[in-house]
Structure 1
Amino acid sequence: MTTGLTSMIPEPQSAGPRKRILILVHRVPYPPDKGDRIRSYHLVAHLARLGEVDLAFLTDEPVEAETLEVLGRLCRRVEAVPVSRFGRWIRAAWSLANGRSLTEGLFESPTLRTLIGRWLGEADYDAVVCYSSGVLSYVLGRGLESRLVADLVDVDSQKWFDYAGRASGPKAALFRLEGRRVRTLEREAGRARAVVLATNTEAEIYRNFCPDACVEAVSNGVDLDYFQPVLGVEETGGCVFAGQLDYRANVLGLEWFCREVWPLIRERVPSATFDIVGRKPVAAVQRLSAVPGIRVVGPVPDVRPYLQAARIVVVPLPVARGVQNKVLEAMAMGRAVAASPAALEGLALVPGRDALAIDEPDDWSRTIARLWDDTQTRTELGRSARRYVEQNHRWETCLGRFDDLIDGKVGRLLGSQG
């Protein structure tokens, strides 16, 4: 999916001395066209306004020249550290067998560990920013806690516990074990200057098991220039879902919706259609195309035409953590959004005015049927949705809290520099 953001390079702030900032990311932070890349890219771009950034990240796929060019314009140094997909699962199994989490093994790289050691020896960083729990192990135990800002985004351990609750047998046991071990890692992050999470709900979950940590809630934004309503374009589609189609929460949600909800919708609206749009559709998603009225579109160069054509954008996620970018993007496009309550949990919107929160299959079918031919209600929902994201989810406003975290005006362990 295209982003239109290649030229969006921020101007540096001129006031005060330039900070030296080290940023570690568990995956390539560009292009900002899916979940973790969206927040990580905008975070890198925002911090580049505050000082000189050294950026290192892991990648299990070739890195495009454009990616390195864009990130190179933002940062003083950029290092993409390759890891093999097969090798990372070997390291994950080894990590699990040795009492650590799969997560730590999946994101382990001796090359990156050596690089970080060298960079720390060369520069006296004012702040070290870790994006996600997967890269915490590279800096914990190095005496950097007073300078560390850990952007965990979500409480990943809780996600694994949620998965365990929806699984059975050995799979449920494995998910619970991973949840316990990731939680141990998350607790260690509590020694940092600050732990950042994407919603107040996630922040409260974290505080419950790490009450002494300095915890900040910093929500996601959305690119309001790129995702905006296109006036005069006719709604030619039906329901649309747009998201990463190999992400477990999305797959579980789509399977549930197509099995439990879609047949009820078709009973009420026999002509109803449902397009599933996104990268890397796994076999379970591809099989959904056999259901009458459902089309698995798969990857597209630009998701906006599909959102713009949709009568209703649906986000049926019984299990969801943090802020759902797919919801913000659809709302920014001025679309009527119907979502599971969990998918809206991190947003301070008014259900029923800005978006529709729906739980049970019968409620889903009645709501979709009611909206199908009600252009006025869909338009009102879309206008309210756009107004909500304009007021609450501008990136520059959302990430502004990082300015104080990097400056050391907020946080704990500020007396020393490790």
Structure 2
Amino acid sequence: MARILWVSAETPDRGGQGGQRRQFHQINGLIDLGHEVQVLSLRSDQSDSSIRQIASIRRFRVAVRGRSVRALLERMRWAIRSSDVDVIVVSHVDSRWMLPSDIRTVRPVLLDVHNVLSSWYDTRGLTELRDDELKAEQEAFDISTAVMTCSALEAERLRRSHPGLTPPVLVAPLGVDPREWPDEPMDREAPLVVAFGNWSWHPNHLGLQWLLDEVWPSVHAQVPGARLEIAGTGAGRSVHPGVTVLGRIDDLAALTARATVVAVPVFEGVGASVKFAESLATGAAVISTPDGANGVDSPPCLVSADATEWVEWIVARLSNRRSEPAPSPARAYALSNLTWAQAVAPIDMWIRPLAISS
């Protein structure tokens, strides 16, 4: 089995935001397959309690008053260079600066691009940001042995943005941890819709505003007592009737067990959403925009960006909620086909030969 050094500017965390959760579950999945993982991250207010339960972690301070930033940075890079590992995984283009410039000559490096931000900026007409990101991505590719994205669509965007790309591209999708989605009594008594996520993220913010302004008023008018409960940070307040903003909650499984519908509104999205796979695991019927669902081929839910279609579909589910399957068949699909063990398989296949040859 391989010895892996996982390098990331953010701290992998089961209870963190989407990127932190993704990294935690990827690391946990690789450990379950027998690999040894060491994590190197930065000191911050992000929690490292969950990752310490499964892997060793070393966190570096790179900005300290009265000490040379260059010296601290060189100390961190020396630790990376001298690590007794078979392969280095770097999470995000934004973590590239943590590595020595010649690291690819020392160890094989797998870069997790996850989201191709240059493509996202390009579609939004932000040419200056696109050009800056193209440069940053290329700098990261120059020190990488291979690159991975979160979906086939992102891999296509990556090749389109970088037609001369030389490192091979892997696709490592997102998954769910069945232990986080235990069986719950399904309750369809109330006409409840749930949406959860980090609503500060621009694509999620746009999607939530669209849901509140273009979809929910018609749903609420047609279904007496209909409620929309919004979980997660960054949603702000809502003055829309029938809407409750819950903020961060500890038990999503218990919340979604009461819902007939889980909504995944994402617009101008990039990458694949961790919350989409998790939404399928809830047991509720799921409706998503295309940008929210792009990480799963032919998902068992309605995928649409048409507000009228959303209204009609949600109204039908809520109005006939007592005859809705509880749990939805999508739950069994997610827990069988979208596990993290399957999601990390492409990473495992790339790493294993390197461990054997080292």
Q: TM-score, normalised by structure 1?
A: 0.75
Percent identity, aligned pairs only, is 23
- In 1, the alpha carbon distance for the partners of 2:62 and 2:240 equals 38
Q: Does 1:149 align with 2:110?
A: yes
Match of 2:140 among 189, 198, 218: 189
Q: 1:112 to 1:35 in 2, by over 3 A?
A: farther
**Residue matched to 1:133:** 93
Picking from 52, 55, 59, the partner of 2:39 is 55
How far did residue 144 of structure 1 move? 1.3
SS at match of 1:379: coil
**CA 1:34–1:111 in structure 2 vs 1: closer, same or farther (change >3 Å)?**
farther
1:135-177 CA-partner distances (Å, limit 9, x unpaired): 1122262241660100111212223334x35xxxxxxxxx432
DSSP-derived class of the 2:177 partner: coil
2:128 corresponds in structure 1 to 177
Contact 1:150–1:189 under 8 Å retained in 2 = yes
What are the superposed Cα offsets for residues 386-414 of structure 1, whole Å, 9 maximum, x if unpaired? Answer: 1321332111122022123223469xxxx
**Among 140, 150, 154, the residue aligned to 1:198:** 150
CA distance in structure 1 between the aligned counterparts of 2:278 and 2:104, rounded to whole angstroms: 36
- Residue equivalent to 2:172: 218
| 2:325 aligned residue | 379
Q: Are positions 1:161 and 2:122 aligned together?
A: yes
After superposition, what is the alpha-carbon deviation per residue over 1:154-201, rounded to whole angstroms, capped at 9, x for unaligned? 212223334x35xxxxxxxxx432222112222333342210111000
Give the CA deviation at 1:214. Answer: 0.3
CA distance in 1 between counterparts of 2:71 and 2:324 reads 52
CA distance in 2, matches of 1:389, 1:26: 30
Cα displacement (A) at 1:59 = 4.6
For residues 272 and 263 of structure 1, the distance between their equivalents in structure 2, rounded to whole angstroms, comes to 10
CA distance in 2, matches of 1:326, 1:229: 18
SS in 1 for 2:214: helix
Offset at residue 232 of structure 1 (A) = 4.9
Aligned residue number for residue 257 of structure 1:
211
Q: 2:60 aligns with which of 81, 96, 105?
A: 81
Tell me the CA shift for residue 205 of structure 1.
Answer: 1.0
Kindly state the Cα deviation for residue 270 of structure 1 after the two structures are TM-superposed. 4.3
Residue pair 1:313, 1:335 contacting (<8 A) in 2 also: yes
The 3-state SS of whatever aligns with 2:170 is: strand
Deviations 1:188-223 (A, max 9, x none): 333422101110000111122244330011111101
Letter of the structure 1 residue corresponding to residue 199 of structure 2? L
Matched, 1:345 2:290: no
- Are positions 1:40 and 2:23 aligned together? yes
1:22 maps to 5
Structure 2: runs of 5+ lacking an equivalent: none
Query: 1:245 & 1:29 partners in 2: Cα distance?
Result: 20
Contact 1:60–1:83 (8 Å) recurs in 2: no
Residue matched to 2:352: 407
- In structure 2, the CA distance between the partners of 1:383 and 1:257, relative to structure 1 (3 Å rule), is closer
Corresponding residue number in structure 2 for 1:370 = 316
- What TM-score, normalized by structure 2, do the two folds share? 0.86
> How far off is 1:336 after superposition?
0.3
- 1:235-250 matches, cutoff 5 A: 235-236=189-190, 238-250=192-204
Q: Using the alignment, how far apart are the partners of 2:75 and 2:183 within structure 1?
A: 44
Aligned partners of 2:288 and 2:304 also within 8 Å:
yes
3-state SS in 2 of match to 1:80: strand
The one-letter amino acid paired with 2:218 is L
- What SS does the corresponding residue of 1:190 show, helix, strand or coil? helix
